[in-house]
Amino acid sequence: MILPRLKSLSPKTITMALTELSHIGKSNPIASFMEVASTLDEDLLIKVIVKMTELNDSLAASLEEDALAEVENEAKFNTLIFELESLVALT
């Protein structure tokens, strides 16, 4: 949501951004972030976009790893429950 908006930003002066921020207020932090980002020079904005893309990719990879670990742990848990039930049935 934020990355596409960052990539499509048009540069603004600080005065223009501050005026827009006064209209936004505290109600929309993403819009406020976009206004501040629009005042960055192009090289710095590119660095911000690259870093946010890296964070997004890292988060996606982490979520995928967590989902796989959840499936593996659930299978191990079910195996342990089955073994425990088997032991209880023998006694």
Q: For the segment 39-85, what is each residue's pLDDT rounded down to a tens digit?
A: 988 899 899 999 999 999 999 999 999 999 999 999 999 999 999 99
Per the structure, the count of domains in the chain is: 1
Is residue 83 domain-resident? no
Is residue 29 domain-resident? yes
Is residue 90 domain-resident? no
**pLDDT tens figures, 4-28:** 888 888 888 888 888 888 888 788 8
Is residue 25 domain-resident? yes
Which tokens sit at 73? Answer: 């742990």
Is residue 80 domain-resident? no
Domain containing residue 30:
2-66
Backbone φ and ψ of 40, nearest 5° = -75, 150
CA–CA separation, 64 and 46 (whole Å)? 27
Is residue 85 domain-resident? no
What is the total residue count of the chain? Answer: 91
